[in-house]
Structure 1
Amino acid sequence: MRNDYHTVKDYGESEIIIQKSRFLTYVNRAETEEEAQDFINSIKLKHKDATHNCSAYIIGEHDHIQKANDDGEPSGTAGVPMLEVLKKQGIKDTVVVVTRYFGGIKLGGGGLIRAYGKATTEGIAAAKVVERKLHHLMKVSIDYNWLGKVENEVRNSEYPLKDINYADSVEVNVYVKAEDESKFSDWMTEITNGQTKIEIVEKEFLEFEVN
Structure 2
Amino acid sequence: MTDEPGTTDEPYRTVAGRGEARFEVRGSEFIGHVAPARTVEDAESFVESVRAEYDDATHNVPAYRVRADPFREWASDDGEPSGSAGDPALNVLQQEDVENVVAVVTRYYGGTNLGVGGLARSYSRAVKDGLDAAGTTTERPHETFSVTVAYDDSGTVRGILESEGVEFDADYAERVAFDVRVPVADGAALRDRIRSATSGRADIE
Q: CA RMSD in A?
A: 2.7
Give the match for residue 149 of structure 1: none
Q: How does 1:178-197 map to 2 (within 5 A)?
A: none
- With the length of structure 2 as denominator, give the TM-score of the two structures: 0.65
Q: CA deviation at 1:34?
A: 1.0
Alpha-carbon distance in 2 for matches of 1:4, 1:34 = 22
Alpha-carbon distance in 2 for matches of 1:38, 1:174 = 30
Give the match for residue 108 of structure 2: 101
Of 178, 189, 201, the match for 2:190: 201
Of Structure 1 and Structure 2, which has the larger fraction of its residues in strand? 1
Tell me if structure 2 keeps the 8 A contact 1:54–1:79.
yes
Indicate the SS of the match to 1:80.
helix
Identity of aligned residues (%): 38
Q: 92-101 or 60-69: which moved more?
A: 60-69
Q: CA deviation at 1:107?
A: 0.5
Tell me if structure 2 keeps the 8 A contact 1:63–1:92.
no
Task: Say yes or no: does 1:4 pair with 2:11.
Answer: yes
Task: Say yes or no: does 1:67 pair with 2:56.
Answer: no
Alpha-carbon distance in 2 for matches of 1:9, 1:172 = 25
Q: CA deviation at 1:31?
A: 1.4
- With the length of structure 1 as denominator, give the TM-score of the two structures: 0.63
Indicate how the Cα distance of structure 1 residues 178 and 31 shifts in structure 2: closer, same or farther if over 3 A, else same: closer
Give the match for residue 194 of structure 1: none
Alpha-carbon distance in 2 for matches of 1:115, 1:30 = 23
Give the match for residue 53 of structure 1: 60
Tell me if structure 2 keeps the 8 A contact 1:61–1:92.
no
Paired residues in the alignment total 149
Alpha-carbon distance in 2 for matches of 1:73, 1:96 = 16
Q: Which 4+ residue blocks in structure 1 deviate beyond 4 angstroms?
A: 171-175
Give the match for residue 125 of structure 1: 132
Amino acid in structure 1 at the alignment position of 2:57: A
Structure 2 unmatched runs, 5+: 1-7, 143-158, 167-182, 192-205
Indicate the SS of the match to 2:81.
coil
Alpha-carbon distance in 2 for matches of 1:201, 1:109 = 53
Indicate how the Cα distance of structure 1 residues 74 and 63 shifts in structure 2: closer, same or farther if over 3 A, else same: farther
Indicate the SS of the match to 2:190.
strand
Greater Rg, structure 1 or structure 2?
1
Q: CA deviation at 1:2?
A: 2.1
Structure 1 unmatched runs, 5+: 136-164, 166-170, 182-198, 203-211
Task: Say yes or no: does 1:79 pair with 2:68.
Answer: no
